[in-house]
Structure 1
Amino acid sequence: MILLLQALQTFIGIYTALLFIRILLSWFPNIDWYNQPWALISQLTDPYLNLFRSIIPPLGGMDFSPILALLLLQVVSSLFTQVVAAAVF
């Protein structure tokens, strides 16, 4: 059980890094999201971000959905950390 929780926590950490890369790359308008490796990053992160885009639409050309998406990932990661720590002791 602990191994599964640690694997999920590692996955969340890697996915969070991918989200940060996606957010930082969105600042560069000349990136073609249909060419590799950008298409892979877009395919992995956009379904998760689209969940939050339906809740918070872009306001004034700014997309605030990644903030909520990252916040939720951090909360889930923190919960996994607490569960793993409680299971070890």
Structure 2
Amino acid sequence: MTSLFQILMLLLGVARTIILIHFIMSWLISFGVLNMRQPLVAQIWDGLNRLLEPIYGPIRRILPQMGGLDLSPIVALLGIYAIEIILRNNAGLFL
């Protein structure tokens, strides 16, 4: 059962990393550092959007409109951290 706990923590870590990469990439695109006309950048951006939309979509429907500010990545990260805390506090159940 310890391996199940480790696999869950690994998956949460991967999800957290993907969200952070998407967050940083969105800022780089907004400030013109990355060019969306480059095929590699466009493919990575499209892939990340398709991967994260099932997570961001329900969060965006719950959160109020904030103008041009999207807080769904922050809420998703907070949710991942909360799940990690719950798993760590209940790690004894996996032994």
TM above 0.5, yes or no, is yes
| 1:75 Cα offset (Å) | 0.4
- Residue in 2 that maps onto 1:39: 46
Aligned residues: 88
**Which structure features the higher share of helix residues?**
2
Q: State the distance in 2 between where 1:74 and 1:54 align.
A: 21
What's the secondary structure of 1:48's corresponding residue? helix
Letter in 2 for 1:64: L
Letter in 1 for 2:36: I
Q: State the distance in 1 between where 2:36 and 2:5 align.
A: 36
Structure 2 gap ranges (5+): none
Would you identify which runs of 4 or more consecutive aligned residues in structure 1 move more than 6 Å? Answer: none
- The alignment-based identity, stated in percent, is 29
Structure 2 CA distance for partners of 1:61 and 1:88, relative to 1, 3 Å: closer
The two structures, once aligned, show a CA RMSD in angstroms of 2.4
Letter in 2 for 1:17: T
Larger Rg: 2
Give per-residue Cα distances to partners, 1:21-56, cap 9 Å, x unaligned: 111111213436x93222222221121011110111
Does the Cα contact within 8 Å between 1:57 and 1:65 map onto a contact in 2?
no
Structure 1 gap ranges (5+): none
**Aligned partner (choices 64, 70, 73) of residue 77 of structure 2:** 70
